[in-house]
Amino acid sequence: MPTIEQVSKRLRSDRNWFTKCLLGVLFCCIPILHFLACGYLYRMFKAGKAQNAFVLPEWDDWKGLFIDGLKFFLIVLIFAGIPIALMVFAKFAVGWSAGSYFIFIPIAPALFIAGPLSCSALYLYMLNGDFSNCFNIQALTGLLKRTAEHYWLPTLALLGLCLLLPFAFFFGAVIYFYLMGYVFKNFELSADKR
């Protein structure tokens, strides 16, 4: 299984890595065009799931990226956005709104689980393109429990990058979604061998 360092080194071996990631950042910041960036991350996850070598795709299939981005956005909105929103609501409902950095502590568990949970749902969706697979609670929790030792570090790394810059976020997200696709496929292959 590839490490963060190996994937990061492979990413930077592409002569146009900076331009490709910068384009993703720009699309992330523009409403409607952000679906193209989501589609790019969808394709990175799909490449990891297929356990293909890490290669940054070109930004050339605009229609396909947009459609993939819509699917990606919907799944991430449901499985990451809703848990985070519920924790934020709960935090304010109990009156935890002090003006310090510590106000993020109650949200931390939701931020941590949002990535792996949305990636689990994305993986289940990609098995046969059926959105109802995303809501298979037994399969979701099984993936999360059995792969936890492999996703906690990339998840913490992505959260750390999110606090820095949009470029660092997209750069980290490219690595993260590839690795998460790879982790879940690796688990599936090892489970099939048993």
DSSP string, 163-189: TT-HHHHHHHHHHHHHHHHHHHHHHHH
Q: Contact, 153 vs 4, CB < 8 A? A: yes
Q: Strand (E) positions, the chain?
A: none
Burial classification of residue 95, based on how many CB atoms lie within 10 Å of its CB (0-12 exposed, 13-18 middle, 19 or more buried): exposed
- 101 has a pLDDT exceeding 60: no
**What are the pLDDT digits (tens) for 1-58?**
888 888 888 888 999 999 998 999 899 889 999 999 999 999 999 999 999 999 999 9
Q: How far apart are CA 190 and CA 194, in angstroms?
A: 7
Give 174 or 35, the one with higher predicted confidence. Answer: 35
